[in-house]
Amino acid sequence: MAKSTKKTIYLCENCGNEFSQWQGRCTICGEWNSLKEVSFDLPIAATRSSKIEVTNISDVKISDKTRTKTGISEFDRVLGGGIVKGSIILLGGEPGIGKSTLMLELTKYIENILYISAEESLEQIKIRANRLKLNSNNLMLVSDGNIENLESTVAKSQPSLIIIDSIQTVYLPMYPSTPGSLVQVRECGIFLQRLAKKSGIPVFLVGHVTKEGSIAGPRILEHLVDVVLYLEGERFHDSRILRGIKNRFGATNEVGIFSMQSSGLQEIKNPSSLFLDQRVDKPGSVIGCTLEGTRPLLVEIQSIVVPTNFGYPKRTASGFDLNRLNLLAAVITKNNGVNLSSSDIYLNIVGGMKLREPALDLPVCVSMISSYKNKTLPKDSCFFGEVGLTGEIRRVTREQDRKKECQNLGYKPAGQYKDLNEIIKNLS
């Protein structure tokens, strides 16, 4: 029988790195007062093996069944074509955004799924499954946070997919700490990673998000998984965006668009039409073209520019970077003869989208100028382009794809303006 010894380490709760002694600042991520003391029993192996198997890469075979289609095309797009055999995937998002719903949706298309939930009882999961009208024959449930015996359970039931909901509520009894603690999240993640690689069964980990927007627990959890996905969206909007942050098997900039309905998450085949469905043609309303992953999207940008009643103008942005908004307002004031320094500016990206692409600089500027001059733009016009500090308009990537998307939806891409002054003259 293997012996054990007590070991104490200091674990950074921000980046997950270990230290042999406490110090005020983590030397890896630079965070202050983030090192926490962790003690656990470290087993000592009775025997050691010095044999290591070496395989030439030419001997590694890739089968046609390496990827499994989820049956949800938007999900497959973000994953890079499907779920890779033996991969471990982390899905994060705010509470109530639809993470568990999305996981249960997989049972419509994938058979023999093992769903482990330590947060909900079996009856609660059954109620949600009935609401989503799922095929219950494809789902095996476990309502227990102890995953120590998961390896034997997997060997017996042979599931095609394992879902852990959530990683902050499961635990390993050999580590004397509560579920959700640094050591439990880390060790459970490593345990599940080894299980996925050994068995070849893909594992989904559902993770809670902190108030800062990052997945709770040490950052090492994001490092050890193959794919990191975030489900985003405003709680008071139907639209949901599944965004790939890390992907070892595909592009990291892909997104999937869904709509939250009473029957579950519905795929949006034409997301541009969703964001433009109720557009009103008035001053301050502008259509912009942005890229989400490899997909061009048309979004409506609305702004209100009014004289301020106080000494300091107020600036508010929803779905757009406020610092970037202030910069663009300064560019317009400095170079284009439109004085926004004494105006309140309120900007909104319609539909709950959160966008940061530089190509939105031009439609944002046009929206503010349109509202300031109280001039309505042509209903079928669409803008995209990066604006420099001197007011010049710069080219952006994949212009042909953007133009094609505009034309498919009946919009005309704006001409190649050199600077904002040309646009202001057309609005005068």
Residue 271 has pLDDT above 90, yes or no: no
Contact 73, 104 (CB under 8 A): no
Residue 13 lies in a domain: yes
Residue 4 has pLDDT above 60, yes or no: no
Residue 374 lies in a domain: yes
pLDDT of residue 16: 66
Token pair 């050691």 in the structure block, residue: 48
Q: DSSP E strands: which ranges in 45-126?
A: 67-68, 83-84, 88-93, 113-117
Q: What is the mean pLDDT of residues 363-369?
A: 94
pLDDT of residue 358: 92
pLDDT of residue 42: 58
Contact 276, 349 (CB under 8 A): no
Residue 53 lies in a domain: no
Q: Does 210 share its domain with 75?
A: yes
Q: What CATH number does the domain containing 373 carry?
A: 3.30.230.10
Helix (H) or strand (E) holding 407: helix 399-408
Q: Does 395 share its domain with 379?
A: yes
Q: Does 10 share its domain with 99?
A: no
Type of residue found at 158: Q
Residue 295 has pLDDT above 70, yes or no: yes
Q: What is the mean pLDDT of residues 390-397?
A: 88
| Better-predicted residue by pLDDT, 183 or 244 | 244
Q: Does 95 share its domain with 216?
A: yes
Residue 72 has pLDDT above 50, yes or no: yes
Tokens of 255: 């997104």
Contact 316, 345 (CB under 8 A): yes
Q: Does 151 share its domain with 284?
A: no
Residue 421 lies in a domain: yes
pLDDT of residue 38: 73
Beta bridge partners of 117: 165
Q: Which residues contact 278 (CB under 8 A, 6 or more apart)?
A: none
Q: Residue 168 phi/psi, 5° resolution?
A: -80, -5
Residue 202 lies in a domain: yes
Residue 51 lies in a domain: no
Q: Does 292 share its domain with 261?
A: no
Q: Does 344 share its domain with 277?
A: yes
Between 109-118, 257-266, 362-371, the lowest mean confidence (pLDDT) is in: 257-266
Residue 370 lies in a domain: yes
Residue span of the structural domain in which 233 resides: 66-268
Q: Does 238 share its domain with 254?
A: yes
Confidence band, pLDDT 50/70/90 cuts, at residue 88? very high
| Better-predicted residue by pLDDT, 349 or 263 | 349
pLDDT of residue 1: 44
6-29: per-residue pLDDT in tens? Answer: 678 787 777 667 788 888 888 877
Q: What is the mean pLDDT of residues 389-396?
A: 89
Residue 223 has pLDDT above 90, yes or no: no
Q: Which of 268, 284, 318 is the last residue of a domain?
A: 268
Count of domains for the chain = 3
101-140: per-residue pLDDT in tens? Answer: 999 999 888 989 999 988 888 888 888 888 888 877 788 9
Does residue 390 come out as left (phi exceeding 0), alpha (psi in the -120 to 50 range) or beta?
A: alpha
Q: Which residues contact 231 (CB under 8 A, 6 or more apart)?
A: 91, 92, 93, 97, 98, 99, 102, 240, 241, 242, 243
Q: Does 315 share its domain with 233?
A: no
- Mean residue pLDDT across the chain: 84
- Could you tell me what percent of the chain has a pLDDT over 90? 32
Q: Which of 235, 268, 301 is the last residue of a domain?
A: 268
Q: Does 236 share its domain with 286?
A: no
| Better-predicted residue by pLDDT, 372 or 48 | 372
pLDDT of residue 219: 66
Q: Tell me the whole-structure pTM to 2 decimals.
A: 0.76
Residue 46 has pLDDT above 50, yes or no: no
Q: Does 361 share its domain with 236?
A: no
Token pair 């016009």 in the structure block, residue: 381
Tell me the three state secondary structure of residue 66: coil
| Better-predicted residue by pLDDT, 27 or 327 | 327
Residue 57 lies in a domain: no
Pick from 268, 271, 308: which is nearest to 291 by CA? 271
Q: What CATH number does the domain containing 205 carry?
A: 3.40.50.300
pLDDT of residue 301: 94
Q: Which of 252, 268, 284 is the last residue of a domain?
A: 268
pLDDT of residue 18: 76
Q: Does 72 share its domain with 162?
A: yes
Most confident of 201-215, 249-263, 388-402: 388-402
Strands 113-117 and 139-142: parallel
Instruction: State how far the alpha carbon of 420 is from the alpha carbons of 105, 169, 374, 394, 398, in Å.
Output: 47, 53, 17, 11, 21
